Structure 1
Amino acid sequence: MSTDDPIPIKYQAGQSWKYLSRVGEEHSRIVILKTETRGSEKIVHITVVGDGIDAPLHMPFSVDAMDKSVTELDETTVSVPEFETGYEIWREEYDKEQAGIYAIPVAEVLNL
């Protein structure tokens, strides 16, 4: 079950957030790609941008994991990179219960 209705959370597509980054990546930012509710899960789809960052273009996180990651809103409207292909692959796997969402902070995921 999916809905594209906005979910009542502080994260919105097109925002840029400062976060608890890894050492040396303090200038990188989280960009919110999309938010959605699937079943009972509120999901924040992100990417991480910045010099030297080699992050996937699409990463799905729980709201709780995002709350543990972000420190402050940096910008309310930034350019959102193309992420639809990665999102569609994830969604198909999620619907088959073969993929999930990250429940740990962003910096920890980047270390995986």
Structure 2
Amino acid sequence: MLDLQLASLEIVVVIVPCQPGMEAPGQGRDVLFAPRPGPRTAGPAARSGLHYAKPYSTMKQLLLTMSLLSFLGLASADDFAEGQLWGYHTRKGEENSRVLINKVETSPRLGKIFHISVLNVKVKNPRIDGGLSTDLPHFPVSQETLKKSLTRLRGKSAPNPNYREGYETWKNAFDQGKAGIFTIDVADIVDAVEHTINQP
């Protein structure tokens, strides 16, 4: 299910294959369902709270929804690319933080690896003047991390020049089988870093 809420507008798209015994126009094809307002009537579709869209309008509605998703810049795995600046599910108080994708590479073993910087955070760091780190220059993360963390494309940016040092260190260790990548949420990565650097 794909839920998209825009002000008072709610679009819910569900694509399911027609099953034997279902009465639907264009039976045997994938059919688009949408919530039916008002009282429900008898029948499997009605009991589920869904109704069948007409086959002609199905593709139009799907294309409209995908266009809206593209317009709003919502995260899609196929869209992640170098130079993108994304909003993400942040920790409380860091709502203006952003994820910058500096570099994308592919590993035969792990698939796509995204080298990100996390900007404008508030990480307690007793090791520096001021006691706060605001930029975390390099994390190697999986596509799954981005899929479950990123929310909206905010713009584009040149790579963070400070990511290179961390990347080179990671790359040397990774090529020797001594380093991996993060698969947890970006906010959890930030939490882990803060916890680590504040250990006695």
| Residue 90 of structure 2 is aligned to residue 90 of structure 1 | no
- Say which of 70, 75, 82 aligns to 1:13: 82
CA distance in 2, matches of 1:103, 1:80: 22
Q: Secondary structure at the match of 1:87?
A: helix
Q: Secondary structure at the match of 1:58?
A: strand
Q: Determine the structure 2 residue equivalent to 1:3.
A: none
Alpha-carbon distance, 1:17 to partner: 0.3
Q: What percentage of aligned pairs have identical amino acids?
A: 36
Taking a change above 3 Å as real, the CA distance of residues 85 and 68 of structure 1, as seen in their structure-2 partners, is same
Q: Report which structure shows greater RCO (CA 8 Å, sep ≥6).
A: 1
Q: TM-score, normalised by structure 1?
A: 0.85
Alpha-carbon distance, 1:37 to partner: 0.1
CA distance in 2, matches of 1:52, 1:101: 23
| Residue 113 of structure 2 is aligned to residue 43 of structure 1 | yes
CA distance in 1, matches of 2:78, 2:175: 23
CA distance in 1, matches of 2:175, 2:136: 20
Where do 4+ consecutive residues of structure 1 move more than 3 Å?
A: none
Q: Tell me if structure 1 keeps the 8 A contact 2:86–2:153.
A: yes
Q: Which has the higher helix share?
A: 2
- Say which of 6, 13, 22 aligns to 2:91: 22
Q: Determine the structure 2 residue equivalent to 1:78.
A: 157
Alpha-carbon distance, 1:51 to partner: 5.6
Q: Tell me if structure 1 keeps the 8 A contact 2:119–2:136.
A: no
Q: TM-score, normalised by structure 2?
A: 0.49
Unaligned runs of 5+ in 2: 1-76, 124-132, 193-200
- Offset from partner CA, 1:36-80 (integer Å, 9 cap, x none): 1022321111011116353431101000111000011111x2132
CA distance in 1, matches of 2:121, 2:174: 31
CA distance in 2, matches of 1:85, 1:9: 28
Alpha-carbon distance, 1:105 to partner: 0.5
Q: Tell me if structure 1 keeps the 8 A contact 2:85–2:154.
A: yes
Taking a change above 3 Å as real, the CA distance of residues 52 and 91 of structure 1, as seen in their structure-2 partners, is same
CA distance in 1, matches of 2:150, 2:165: 26
CA distance in 1, matches of 2:153, 2:119: 15
| Residue 32 of structure 2 is aligned to residue 32 of structure 1 | no
CA distance in 2, matches of 1:51, 1:19: 12
Aligned-CA RMSD value: 1.6
